[in-house]
A and B are shown apart, each in its own frame.
Chain A
Amino acid sequence: QKEVEQNSGPLSVPEGAIASLNCTYSDRVSQSFFWYRQYSGKSPELIMSIYSNGDKEDGRFTAQLNKASQYVSLLIRDSQPSDSATYLCAVNRETARQLTFGSGTQLTVLP
């Protein structure tokens, strides 16, 4: 079992719809959770970070964390074609300073 798992996709949604991206992690003592967006050929760019159970909203983005279920998700409201990218879930385990990444979910927003 991989430490951080994501559906690889591709996930396609129409413009204006809600895109839902999911991630599960195996290390129960993980502390910090991040969503990075990566455009093709570019480096990862931080979208959201979340540290405690519940929802965190930032503009069109909402991160949701459920530590009991070891599950973190990212919702993108009013999806735009410019949101088309690979979304990487990353976890910072208590015992390490580095991030552990999932393999990413490729999102395509259709105009």
Chain B
Amino acid sequence: GAGVSQSPRYKVAKRGQDVALRCDPISGHVSLFWYQQALGQGPEFLTYFQNEAQLDKSGLPSDRFFAERPEGSVSTLKIQRTQQEDSAVYLCASSLLPRETQYFGPGTRLLVL
């Protein structure tokens, strides 16, 4: 079956631009996670949704980061006024139920110039 998909796969933004990253989880998966992965590091948690409810956003680095999942399926991570330190790979993962295996999408590689 189809896995987690993300778009765009690559995004180049000028500093100060707003960007929106999309995640399509595996159909029927309740839990959806966003992670940020810097070069040479492991993924770092950003935020978690259970259906449409954002239950944990403790990992969002600043108020420039905003995520939503309005209908409990597709999720969008928005970064306002991008900064160079936002350059990273943004990974989306979903799991059928909380605490079950997380399956990762291919990621969006964001480069802020």
B-binding residues in A (CB < 8 A): 4, 31-32, 34, 36, 42-46, 49, 88, 90, 92, 96-104
Contact = CB atoms under 8 A, between A and B. Distances in A.
Given A43-B106, A45-B104, A98-B56, A92 B48 contact: no
23 contacts: A4-B42, A36-B104, A43-B91, A43-B104, A43-B105, A43-B106, A45-B104, A46-B102, A49-B101, A88-B43, A92-B99, A96-B56, A97-B31, A97-B33, A97-B55, A97-B56, A97-B99, A98-B56, A99-B45, A101-B42, A103-B42, A104-B41, A104-B42
Interface in B58-113: 59, 91, 98-99, 101-107
B44 interface: yes
Interface of B: 31, 33, 35, 40-45, 48, 50, 55-56, 59, 91, 98-99, 101-107
Contacts of B55: 97
Contacts of B102: 46, 99
A97 to B, nearest CB: 5
Given A49-B101, A99-B33, A104-B42, 13 more contacts: A4-B42, A31-B99, A34-B101, A42-B106, A43-B105, A46-B102, A88-B43, A97-B98, A98-B33, A98-B48, A98-B56, A98-B59, A99-B35
Contact of B43 (A49, A96, A101): A101
Given A44-B91, A92-B99, A101 B44 contact: yes
A72 to B, nearest CB: 14
B48 A46 contact: no
Nearest to B103: A46
Contacts of A103: 40-42
Contacts of B33: 97-99
A44 B45 CA distance: 14
Top 10 nearest A-B pairs (CB, nearest first) are A101-B42, A98-B45, A43-B104, A44-B104, A103-B42, A97-B98, A43-B106, A101-B43, A88-B42, A103-B41
A36 B37 CA distance: 14
